[in-house]
Structure formats: structure tokens, C-alpha cells
Amino acid sequence: MTDKKRTTHDHKRGARDAAGAPAAKTPAGESAKPAEAEAEAEAAADAVAEAQAAGAGAELAAVTRERDEYLDHLRRLKAEFENYRKRVQRDHEELRLRAAETVVESLLPVMDNMSRALEAGARHEEGQLLAGLELVSGQLRGTLEGHGLEEIAVEPGVLFDPTVHEAIMAQPSPEHPEGTVTQVLELGYLLHGRLLRPAKVIVAS
């Protein structure tokens, strides 16, 4: 066989070998790696989501518990305040009743003496009746003063004081200067230093 024929024959055989040779195989492990990596990534994402959900649930539970504690505290405060208000109201009412009881009890002797004076006036002269009423009036005044009552000092000629006087009317007066009291129509009183009733007066204009 000549060299030219041998070369041609070698080329044909190489082509046949190349056509019939199997393709290069890829290892099985290398083809499975992308799927496993994707599964692991999904599992990691799921784990992160679960952890976040668990953390959010725990935070929500803590907030809910704190809210319930505050509500319970507010309910207790409301109940305590309501009990305190009722107790203060009850104590105030009891104090008022005791104060009224004390005043009324101290006035009972005055009523007794008033009844005696009226009985005496039915049997004796008018002068004795007048003396009895003056006695009762003095006793009544003394009893009320013992409870803190004080008469407002006012008489014709004093300067009008709007803090303790109430002007019923104003009229010209030849005897008193303008702005002074000309007549006292009703006495005024203080109770424990506070105005209980102003004195009603007529003022010179």
C-alpha cells in the first residue's frame, strides 16, 4: 500500500472511530448539585421565615400580656377611686348631719325658753313678756355665736362696703354724705370669718 492510500485509509478510520465513539459522560453528582443547592436555599428561607414568624408571635404575645396588665391595673385604679369617692361622699354627708345635729341640739334650750316666755306672757303683763323674749333672744345669739356666727357691724353713717353690704336702693340724704349707709334693713352675718349673708342697706346718693 502506498503512503497516499495509507493516509486516506487512516483518515477514514479516524472518522469512523470519531462517529462511533460515545460522548463524554458528565458525572451524576455534578448534575444533582444545582437541585440540592436550590432545595437547601428553600429550606434556609423557610427556616428564616419560621424564625421570624416565631419572633413576631412572641413579640405579639408580650405586647398582649403587657396590654392586659395595664387594663387590669386601670380597672383596679377605677374601682379604688370609685370606692374612695363613695367613702368621701359618705363621710361628708355624715359630717354634715353631725354638724346639723350639734346646732339643732344647742338650739333646743332656746326653744324651751321661748315656750316658757310665751306661757308667761299669757299669764302676766306685757313688760314681763318683753323681758322674757329679750332673754331668749340673747340666749339664741349667744348659742349661734358659739358656732362661729358673727354679726357684721353696720349702722347709719358708715361707708358702704360692697364686700359685706348689699345696697337695696340709693336715695338722697340730707344727714349723710354720698356713699354712706343711711338705713339698715337687715343685719348681715359672717360664719367662721366667711360671709354668710350681707347686710341689706340703703345708701345715700
In this structure, what is the dihedral angle of CA atoms 96, 100, 106, 112, given to the nearest 10 degrees?
A: -170
Buried b / exposed e over 185-202, threshold 16 CB at 10 Å, is: eeebbbeeeeeeebbbbb
Beta bridge partners of 169: 202
pTM score: 0.52
Between CA 117 and CA 113 the distance in angstroms is 6
**pLDDT at residue number 160:** 94
**pLDDT at residue number 51:** 66
- Contact at 8 Å (CB) between 124 and 132? no
**pLDDT at residue number 127:** 67
**How many CA atoms lie less than 13 Å away from 100 in the CB half-sphere?**
6
The region that residue 148 occupies, defined by phi over 0 for left and psi between -120 and 50 for alpha, beta otherwise, is left
pLDDT tens across the length of the chain (205 residues): 444 444 444 444 444 444 444 444 444 445 556 667 677 777 666 666 676 766 677 777 778 888 888 888 888 888 888 899 999 898 888 887 787 778 877 887 887 777 777 777 667 666 677 777 788 888 888 888 888 889 898 999 999 999 999 999 999 988 999 999 999 998 889 888 889 889 999 999 8
**pLDDT at residue number 159:** 93
